[in-house]
Structure 1
């Protein structure tokens, strides 16, 4: 996910920006009272490895700028303007071309001897994984203008941090300086100033590539961990649109789950408030689904998974919930994703005309046999434009339940953390004496 990968990159760069006396941190001389723990040959190999780690982060920054480029098919040399985005992309392209090779798989996953190398390795690993985010989900066409500025600012801030570290690592053996470092820094600063003035939108952190979830096979664990596994399997099995009857069964199971947890919880249970609100939401959803019909769909597997999840929840004891606070937090997050998935199913089912609503007619149905005739009804596709209809309810309550904005305070914290580290680096040049 974009937010998680960029959080790790910013976090590690902030750590590196607070570190000085680089030669000593790779085992070299520098402090008379501390011994030298590496040879000149080893320090040269470390310098080459640091360059490969930096190359991975540079490539991530370049891919981020390219992803939010409004004119991706026009070569940089043919563009008549030199906007801040175009300038930063051109300087990053030049820096990546001259920075050296990529790190190998062994370098990204192997053990490291020094903490500074661990920080670089972690940042490079997140940058390599983060390249999967750019494309269909993180692109100029799929993001809002504010989200585009957020990605651009993230790339520019990371670039600015690499420029500061490039100056600091100048005396490291085999370290290759950035090409046109000053112009690269100026281009990054212009993008940061532009995005700060126009405003950003951190909801882009919830976008990007996610690994495909898989079913948890084998017997479920006892207690709340088993409930978590059962709901994970339910979430994975909801990969297609079920018919209306199966959808009602799934909704009924989630109503039972929420009512059970909310009813048996005490004031210290973090799931209590979540499940109370969720119980009311699913109660209203169950009422709205009573007049919904549709025989097309595949939901037999999801129904069985939902039944297992409800059975495991009914078997919970109060001690199981009180002793599993981390599992409770994970289950609350899984509830949010499950609610969003059910809301999307309802919207897509209405859009594809798979669900129909029962509409009474002002006449008697004379086609049925028997002396007593009932009211005539017809079945019409669900209208998504109805303000008080099922689709509007799913969009407003399920996909926005509990104020799910798609942001994470931890991501914003690392943005502030890296900005603060850059401000300190600008205020105090590397020539001043600092403490370890």
Structure 2
């Protein structure tokens, strides 16, 4: 497992977690005072705490040696001290422990909890196998890239801290109150804690990053190659993907089936990327990671797409068969990976043609403006309206769809690693992390000024 096998899935998992804006409700918390929490809410909340602790332990154990190796600037020293305080003590977690083997290996029915589980699994495997070989082989440029990744990971944790503060027993990160800076701290300590320290640390590293540093994605643990790579699982997966390409030329996908198929192909890309890494084909591994990102973008762009025309049961079935076979595969050779790549290219071409034709025929709709409808008795009520999907009302979908064509797909390189991390950083900034404290102070100042003006008017009138 190389560092790229860790950074990619962990970044994807955290980005997906950030898209869930109401975790308390999604985990089953009570909707209002008259409603009780759904059964299992407490257990789900405790699982999230245990999973988060494992991700934080990974960030601490990987980051501290690198921080100390950078030198003794005050900013670096303060960040090293903060890492120790940020990770909760295991005894303070629910049940006095982190997640056990069953909780890590079993898929959770709740989507948000399972995303945290995936992040924790990657973090645990990295700590056990990938970390020591990685620390022994990195140069300074590569160390800076890893530290930037850790900084972005902690920035995401801060943003999530603000959302999850209502969960039972939630433990805020050190120097914060529910994800925000603890303003009761002395001024000289505030800059060494919380979001301010993270932002300053990341801004200090960013100008020093070089393309050479992103070669760290190829370093880490190298597993033993299986004696007989491939086997029946590879043949089964290739056959299912070839049949999927044939079916896509015959079958029209309804909106619900399309979303399931896109999620399945995202998972297929991740599994083929894993097998390419086992085969030693670094270029193909990066290429399949790019494909997974494209399908992830399509999944996000089609969440509000509706349409009942067509079916898609056969396409979804063959995708599921291919994913199951790839999950069971324990190894592959370069020839097998290339066969998978050729089959996936054909799937992408057929899927692009199918989706383009469905949009052109008007099979898909997006939610439009609310309209007022008159009912019996003269009562008006609002009702959702739907309009055919176009470039104007589905810009994300139409911008991402051409990337399905292999010829127009971004080529994996060091630039792709940079772009993935930059996009994650921009996502964090867009979520409001960088301006939260400045906006808070501005609101306080405006409120104080308005209060002073009101009091002046009262005194003048009296």
Asked if 2 retains the 8 angstrom alpha-carbon contact of 1:26 and 1:114, the reply is yes
2:183 paired with 1:151 = no
**Residues 53 and 88, structure 2, Cα contact 8 Å, conserved in 1:** no
Residue 211 of structure 1: CA displacement?
Answer: 2.1
Q: Where does 1:67-78 land on structure 2 (aligned, <5 Å)?
A: 67-71=65-69
- Residue 124 of structure 1 and its aligned partner are, at CA, apart by 0.7
1:245 corresponds to which residue?
none
Query: Residues 110-259 of structure 1: matches in 2 within 5 Å?
Result: 110-131=106-127, 132-139=129-136, 142-181=137-176, 182=181, 183-200=193-210, 201-216=213-228
Could you say which structure has the larger radius of gyration?
Answer: 1
Secondary structure class of the residue paired with 2:134? coil
Is 2:81 aligned against 1:86? no
In 2: Cα distance, 1:323 partner to 1:58 partner: 36
Structure 2 CA distance for partners of 1:211 and 1:67, relative to 1, 3 Å = farther
Tell me the CA shift for residue 198 of structure 1.
1.7
Aligned twin of 1:255: none
Instruction: Please say if residues 68 and 80 of structure 2, whose CA atoms lie closer than 8 Å, have aligned partners that are also in contact.
Output: no
Is the contact made by 1:14 and 1:417 (CA closer than 8 Å) also made in structure 2?
no
Q: Do the aligned partners of residues 37 and 2 (structure 1) sit closer, same or farther apart at CA in structure 2, a change above 3 Å counting? A: same
CA contact (8 A) 1:56 1:102 kept: yes
Give the 3-state SS of the residue equivalent to 1:137 in structure 2. helix
The 5 A counterparts of 1:24-63 are 24-30=25-31, 38-39=38-39, 42-63=40-61
Whether the 8 Å CA contact 2:133–2:221 is kept in 1: the answer is: no
Distance 2:221 2:340 in 1: 33
Distance 2:69 2:235 in 1: 54
Q: 1:215/1:188 Cα in 2 relative to 1: closer, same or farther (>3 Å)? A: same
Q: Given that residues 27 and 38 in structure 1 are in contact (C-alpha distance below 8 angstroms), is that contact kept between their aligned partners in structure 2?
A: yes
Shift of 1:122: 0.7
* Residue 66 (structure 1) aligns with: 64
The Cα of 1:37 is off from its aligned counterpart by: 7.3
Question: Does 1:420 find its partner at 2:417?
Answer: no
Alignment partners' CA distance in 2, 1:134 and 1:218: 28
Secondary structure of the residue aligned to 2:227 is coil
Q: How far, CA to CA, are the matches of 1:203 and 1:145 in structure 2?
A: 12
Structure 1 contact 153–195 (Cα < 8 Å) conserved: yes
Which deviates further from its counterpart, 189-198 or 114-123?
189-198
Deviation at residue 69 of structure 1 after TM alignment? 3.8
In structure 1, the gaps of 5 or more residues are 73-78, 226-231, 239-308, 314-320, 330-404, 432-436
Matched residue, 2:365: none
Does 2:1 match 1:3? Answer: no
RCO higher in 1 or 2 (8 Å CA, sep ≥ 6)?
1
C-alpha deviation, 1:57, in angstroms = 0.8
Alignment coverage as a number of residue pairs: 257
TM-superposed deviation, 1:425: 1.4
Structure 2: how far apart are the matches of 1:120 and 1:219? 32
Task: Tell me which protein shows more helix as a share of its residues.
Answer: 2
Q: 1:196 to 1:222 in 2, by over 3 A?
A: closer
Distance 2:414 2:134 in 1: 18
Partner of 1:357: none
Q: SS of 1:138's equivalent?
A: helix
Q: Output the CA distance in 2 between the equivalents of 1:22 and 1:323.
A: 37
Distance 1:415 1:145 in 2: 18
TM-score of the superposition, structure 2-length normalised? 0.48
The RMSD of aligned alpha carbons is 4.1
Where do residues 257-276 of structure 1 align in structure 2 (5 Å cutoff)? none
